[in-house]
Amino acid sequence: MGNRRKFIRTAGLATLGAMSLPQMLKGRAKQYSGGPGNESSIPLVLSTWQHGLAANQAAWNVLSRHGSALDAVENGVMQTEADPGGQSVGLGGLPDRDGKVTLDACIMDHFGNCGSVCFLEGILHPVSVARLIMEQTPHVMLAGAGAQKFALENGFKITELLTGKSRKEWENWKRKSMYQPVINIENHDTIGMIALDEQGNLAGACTTSGIAFKMHGRVGDSPIIGAGLYVDGEIGAAVATGHGEMVMKTLGSFLVVENMRRGSSPLKACEEAVKRITEKVKDYEKGQVGFLAMDTKGNYGAYSIHKGFNFAIRNQEENELIDSESYLP
């Protein structure tokens, strides 16, 4: 890794060890300086939202022991899937309007191998099912009952994912039966993670219970390769979070990677993809979308429609939360 390791950073980040994890969780995100020079040392892992701090740490446990980016992103997002406190991912996720927790997830490596599950119920680690589909079937995506059958046949167990807290929130929601998601509140916290290992290989994973109180059967962007996640081992990787329909209409993560292919920095590439949404999607200001990207050299960037999106970075020196730039204040 020697000559690939770079220590140029522009985000002004604190060194690891200066804060405990609980302190970091309480702390406000730093303002991200943006620009093409956001270069980090590698290995490096980035993920969406505050829960990314803990997820990144799980990924770092793999990367720091010379592990692959693919193993790191799976291990990283599994941490979030198993955390009952997060109400947009796995255990404890808010259900759909019928009271069912239905999960979407995908994973992709630097060769372009990918696997995905959608509308999956009762399985704690959809990302691992996605990886198994990638590695052991001729397919990319399995849905619903078929995905669950495949998981059970391969040793996964049924887990009750609806916690008391999420059930109560669903029951309260049903009383009002309003479907007006609150930006950065009700529908955030999908985990999208991208990592670059010391071999210089990229991988990404994305996992979510989707938009709270969605229609039963609704599938968002997160399991759609090119929408919620895209990795091109020669160019870079990107993940999306937020209002999935807007991401799907513009194939957001693929667009971010294609923008990088044409020479945009990760930050600029994310900004251009957000601008595409603002140009093509009606009422875009009613939803939030954030993109997070890195290239093969460890340059990274993030951009969202609304202020409020942040991401976590973990490398040798730091484990920190950073505010993304945004189109709207």
C-beta of 122 vs 210, nearer to ligand SD4:
210
* Dihedral sign for Cα atoms in the order 233, 235, 239, 245: negative
Concatenated DSSP letters of 186-212: TT---EEEEEE-TTS-EEEEEEE--ST
Closer residue to ligand SD4 in complex, CB, 220/298:
220
Output the smallest distance, CB 45 to ligand SD4, in A: 18
Interacting residue ranges for ligand SD4, rule: CB under 6 A = 88, 187-190, 208, 210-211, 220-222, 241-244
User: Could you tell me the smallest distance in angstroms from the CB atom of residue 214 to ligand SD4?
Assistant: 7
Q: Which is nearer to ligand SD4, 63 or 142 (CB)?
A: 142
Rounded Cα gap, residues 56 and 98, in angstroms = 33
68 or 190: whose CB is closer to ligand SD4? 190
Which whole-number Å values give the CA distances from 268 to 30, 251, 264, 265, 327, in the listed order? Answer: 19, 17, 6, 5, 12
Select from 234, 230, 228, 197 the least CA-distant residue to 290.
228
- Catalytic residue, chosen from 48, 190, 241, 296, is 190
Beta carbon of residue 154, minimum distance to ligand SD4 (angstroms, whole number)? 25
Whole-number minimum distance, CB 3 to ligand SD4, in Å?
Answer: 37
Write the single-letter amino acid at 155. Answer: G
Residue 170 phi/psi, 5-degree rounding, is -65, -45
Instruction: Characterize the bridge pairing of strands 141-143 and 114-120.
Output: parallel
Q: H or E stretch including 3?
A: none
Residue 159: active-site member: no
Spatial separation of the C-alpha atoms in residues 259 and 249, rounded to whole Å:
17
Which residue in the block uniquely carries the two structure tokens 């397919």? 139
Cα 252-258-264 angle, rounded to 5 deg: 105
Cβ at position 223, least distance to ligand SD4 in Å: 9
> Least separation, in Å, of the C-beta of 220 and ligand SD4?
2
C-alpha atoms less than 13 angstroms from C-alpha of 187 in its C-beta half-sphere: 25
Catalytic site residues?
A: 190
